[in-house]
Each structure stands twice: as structure tokens, then as C-alpha cells.
């Protein structure tokens, strides 16, 4: 079906086709990414698990897992949300369904090629920007720029007055992603080395989260909660405060990632202070969404999309509290290089953003396919497996990180620290495997929704029919 539409005229392609293909692609990549994560966690929990094969070594597998999740699951789910929500808010069609479909096709091709090369050991060796430089250029040309153009042109061609908060975030974040991706990979284009390479690497890693993942996930909440609950957004002014404070405070110099490096002291201090100030957009966002829920908290129990969204919003509270204060010098010294950082990264990617993306994919696919969810029971099972699995992972890794930090302070022999944290590595594997299992259930449920879901009558929304038999 995808190949058929790639060569069709734009006007002959059904509205929403690109969003549907992006939605299913994102779930498949989520399953691949969490499967790799479960495998890697097993290697840390059980050191004798799959040894003697170079390609299955942790050093090969870890980076494949990370980029499969960031550029496969998270970014494709964002693309799906943009191609579904942006036209709806503009009362128009997506500017080019054909461009969207080619974007999805080339995205899958480039990502598959990049991950395969990394798996064989061909990599830049720089964390979070591991693709070799030709793949970086391919990502910019075939992934980030076409997505941004489609979003911008759809907003420009809107048939509504004004631009809603969600589309402000979509337009700005696609622009910022291009800048972050091109600038962050300068060390490869120009063979920069040493401290410059280290700094640019972590500037890229920090701002991919701060200027891409965080704002787009928040933009989804700004759409889903008012749309599903029927309540207007509590405050557009607070939404504007959130938007501009993210731009100002989250685009930090990122020097807090290199506190022990010989960077200028003023740069480290600037990064630390601005890092704490991310609490400004965080508090604005969380309060705005939770106040929008006034009078509709029963839907947290009754509605799957609302439950995913609200949990994602609530996880933004510990995420930003950690994110702000672990950038201060004293706390950074204690947790740097420990499993605490792994826990924090997963709180952002597997907690906060994943729950919001799942809400967008659930709502978007059902609406665009005009099909009611095949099984609400499987949907609830997916939610609880994901939440419990994530919680086990996050809590166990946080505790392991505190043990490692204490071991550093009291100069405990390294092997004793490894032995002490081993039970938490097993818990990590258990939680990660629960998450992986939830993605298999989700993919089956959405596939069956497309094949056998009850048709949604004209004028109704899928979430309105969730409990109707």
C-alpha cells in the first residue's frame, strides 16, 4: 500500500495516510528498541548471557538500542502526531501527503541502514550521535527537513485564525531539530577532536532532549487533554510562558555534562544556573495541563488516552526536579557516571515522552482509520505493563546509582560495588522485559484495530465509544 501511494498524485492519496504509516512504523521501532534494551539489560544482569560473539557484545548493541528508540519510536511517533494534529488544528489537509509518505519511507530506510552499520561497528563513536557522517547528512536531507517543511506549510495554509499552542511547539521544534542536528554533528564534518568534540557531542545530546523531545511531547498533551475531555486549555498565557521559557532556559550550553572537564568555569556555572531554571517551563506545563483536567478527573480512570497523557505529565515533575538539581555542581559530582543518570534518561524517554507519544498514537490511529480500538482490555494491559515495567526499571536504577555514588565517596572497592548493585540489574532486566512485552501487545492490538475494529460513525470520536458494546 505504501509503495502504491508513493507514486500516486497527492490529491489521490487519502488524508491521514502518512500519519497512519508513521504511527505503525513507530510502534514497530518501539518493539525493536525495547527488545534490544531487554537483551542488553540481560547481559548486565547475567554476565554469561550470549558471550563470544562480537556483534552481540554490549558495546555494539547499546548504541543500536538508543538510536532505535530515539529516532525510531520517539521521533516517528512525533512525526505521526504532527501529521495528524497539525492539519486538524488548521482545519485543513496536510500540505503534502506524498511528501509525508516519502518522508516515512526514507526515514525507515535511513534508520535501518544506520543501525545496521552501527551494529557492524561502523560508528562515529560519539554518544547519541553515533551515525557516521554520510548518514547524518541523509537524516538531515530525508528526515528532518522534509518533516519540517510539511509542518510549516500546513500551518501556513491553515484555514483558522491564529495558531494554537501545540502548533507553535511543532513549528519551533522542527526548526530547532535541524539546527541542533547540523551543528551538533560539526565534529564529524570538520574532524574536530579533543575537548571541542566532547563539548559539541554533549551539546547535541542535551538539546535533542531539550529542544526536540521535551517540547513535542508537551505539545501532544496540549492537544489531547482539551480534545478528549472537552475542556478548553486552562490558560493560553501560561502556554506562551511555557513555550518561550523552554526556548530560553532549555537551550543551555550543556556544559553540566562535562563538569570535570577543563571547560571555562563561567560556562559550567552558566549551564548549572540555566539548568535549574528549566523548572519554570516545567511548572507552567504541568500546572496548565492538570488545571485543564478540572471537573473531568473521572476520565483518568475511564479513558485510555487521558490516562497515558496525565501519567506522562505527572512524570514531568520528578523528571524536571532531577534534571534541574543534578546540574548543580555538588549533586552532579555525586551522580555523574552512575546508574542514576541511566535512570534519569529513561525517566525522560521511557517515562515522560513515551506515555505522551502513546496517547497520540492511540488517538490518532483510531481517528484516522475510523476504527474503535479492537480490545480495551489489551489497551489497559499495555498501559499497566508499561507503567509497572518502567517504574521497576527507574526505581532500581536510581537505587543502583545511589549505591555507586556512595561507593565513590567512601572509596569502596569497585568489585564490591558491582556485587552490591547486581540485584538491581536483575530488577532492571525484569522491568525492561515487561516494557518489551507491552509493545508486542500494543502492536497486535493496533493491527487488529486496523483489520477488525468496529467502524466509528461519522461525527463521533473513537474515545467517545470506548465503553460502548
CATH superfamily of 164-334+341-365: Cytochrome c oxidase-like, subunit I domain (1.20.210.10)
The per-residue b/e assignment along 74-109, b for 16 or more CB within 10 angstroms, e otherwise, is bbbbbbbbbbbbbbbbbebbbbbbbbbbbbbbbbbe
Mean pLDDT of 456-465: 84
Supply the pLDDT for residue 318: 96
Reduced 3-state DSSP string for 194-211: HHHHHHHHHHHHHHHHHH
Band of residue 87 on the pLDDT scale cut at 50, 70, 90:
very high
Mean pLDDT of 334-339: 94
**What is the model's pTM?**
0.96
Flag whether pLDDT at 283 surpasses 90: yes
The answer to whether the beta carbons of residues 271 and 252 sit under 8 Å apart is: yes
Supply the pLDDT for residue 55: 87
Flag whether pLDDT at 469 surpasses 60: no
Supply the pLDDT for residue 465: 80
Chain segment 173-186, per-residue pLDDT in tens: 999 999 999 999 99
Chain segment 373-411, per-residue pLDDT in tens: 999 999 999 999 999 999 999 999 999 999 999 999 999
Supply the pLDDT for residue 96: 96
Chain segment 245-261, per-residue pLDDT in tens: 998 888 878 898 999 89
Nearest to 299, CA basis, from 367, 240, 359: 359
Query: Which single residue is written with the C-alpha cell 473513537?
Result: 462
Supply the pLDDT for residue 3: 79
Band of residue 458 on the pLDDT scale cut at 50, 70, 90:
confident
Mean pLDDT of 162-171: 96
Please provide the average confidence, as pLDDT, over all residues in the chain: 94
Alpha-carbon span 406 to 413, nearest angstrom: 11
Flag whether pLDDT at 468 surpasses 80: no
Chain segment 15-56, per-residue pLDDT in tens: 999 999 999 999 999 999 999 999 999 999 998 999 888 889
- Express as a percent the part of the chain with pLDDT over 70: 99
Alpha-carbon span 153 to 161, nearest angstrom: 15
Mean pLDDT of 340-360: 97
Supply the pLDDT for residue 286: 98
Chain segment 121-136, per-residue pLDDT in tens: 899 989 899 999 999 9
- Express as a percent the part of the chain with pLDDT over 90: 84
Flag whether pLDDT at 268 surpasses 70: yes
Supply the pLDDT for residue 52: 87
∠ CA 159-165-169 to the nearest 5 degrees? Answer: 105
Chain segment 54-78, per-residue pLDDT in tens: 889 998 899 999 999 999 999 999 9
Supply the pLDDT for residue 466: 72
Band of residue 275 on the pLDDT scale cut at 50, 70, 90:
confident
Amino acid at each position: 500500500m505504501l509503495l502504491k501511494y508513493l507514486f500516486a498524485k497527492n490529491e489521490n492519496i487519502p488524508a491521514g495516510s502518512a500519519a497512519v504509516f508513521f504511527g505503525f512504523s513507530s510502534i514497530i521501532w518501539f518493539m525493536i528498541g525495547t527488545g534490544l534494551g531487554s537483551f542488553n539489560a540481560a547481559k548486565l544482569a547475567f554476565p554469561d548471557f550470549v558471550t563470544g560473539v562480537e556483534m552481540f557484545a554490549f558495546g555494539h548493541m547499546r548504541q543500536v538500542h538508543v538510536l532505535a528508540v530515539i529516532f525510531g519510536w520517539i521521533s516517528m511517533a512525533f512525526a505521526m502526531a504532527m501529521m495528524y494534529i497539525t492539519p486538524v488544528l488548521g482545519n485543513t489537509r496536510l500540505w503534502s501527503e506524498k511528501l509525508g509518505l516519502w518522508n516515512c519511507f526514507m526515514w525507515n530506510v535511513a534508520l535501518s541502514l544506520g543501525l545496521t552499520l552501527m551494529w557492524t561497528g561502523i560508528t562515529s563513536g560519539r554518544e547519541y550521535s553515533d551515525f557516521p557522517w554520510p548518514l547524518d547528512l541523509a537524516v538531515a536531507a530525508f528526515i528532518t527537513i522534509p518533516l519540517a517543511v510539511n509542518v510549516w506549510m500546513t500551518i501556513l495554509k491553515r484555514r483558522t485564525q491564529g495558531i494554537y499552542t501545540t502548533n507553535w511547539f511543532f513549528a519551533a521544534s522542527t526548526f530547532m531539530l535541524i539546527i541542533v542536528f547540523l551543528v551538533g554533528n560539526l565534529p564529524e564534518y570538520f574532524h574536530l577532536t579533543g575537548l571541542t568534540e566532547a563539548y559539541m557531542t554533549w551539546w547535541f545530546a542535551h538539546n535533542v532532549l531539550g529542544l526536540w523531545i521535551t517540547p513535542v511531547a508537551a505539545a501532544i498533551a496540549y492537544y489531547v487533554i482539551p480534545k478528549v475531555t472537552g475542556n478548553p486549555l486552562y490558560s493560553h498565557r501560561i502556554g506562551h510562558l511555557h513555550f518561550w521559557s523552554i526556548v530560553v532556559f532549555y537551550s543551555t550550553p550543556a556544559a553540566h555534562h562535562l563538569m570535570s572537564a577543563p571547560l571555562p568555569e563561567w560556562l559550567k556555572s552558566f549551564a548549572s544556573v540555566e539548568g535549574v531554571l528549566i523548572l519554570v517551563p516545567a511548572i507552567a506545563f504541568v500546572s496548565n495541563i492538570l488545571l485543564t483536567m478540572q471537573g473531568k478527573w473521572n476520565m483518568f480512570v475511564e479513558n485510555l488516552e487521558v490516562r497515558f497523557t496525565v501519567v506522562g505529565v505527572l512524570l514531568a515533575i520528578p523528571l524536571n526536579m532531577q534534571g534541574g538539581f543534578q546540574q548543580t555542581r555538588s549533586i552532579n559530582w555525586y551522580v555523574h557516571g552512575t546508574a542514576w543518570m541511566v535512570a534519569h534518561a529513561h525517566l525522560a524517554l521511557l517515562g515522560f515522552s513515551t506515555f505522551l507519544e502513546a496517547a497520540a498514537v492511540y488517538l490518532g490511529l483510531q481517528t484516522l482509520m475510523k476504527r474503535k480500538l479492537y480490545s480495551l482490555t489489551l489497551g489497559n494491559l499495555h498501559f499497566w505493563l508499561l507503567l509497572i515495567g518502567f517504574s521497576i526499571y527507574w526505581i532500581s536504577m536510581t537505587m543502583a546509582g545511589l549505591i555507586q555514588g556512595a561507593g565513590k565517596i567512601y572509596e569502596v572497592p569497585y568489585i564490591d560495588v558491582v556485587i552490591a548493585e547486581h540485584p538491581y540489574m536483575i530488577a532492571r532486566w525484569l522491568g525492561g522485559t515487561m516494557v518489551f512485552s507491552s509493545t508486542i501487545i500494543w502492536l497486535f492490538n493496533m493491527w487488529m484495530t486496523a483489520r477488525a475494529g468496529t467502524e466509528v460513525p461519522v461525527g463521533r470520536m473513537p474515545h467517545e465509544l470506548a465503553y460502548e458494546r
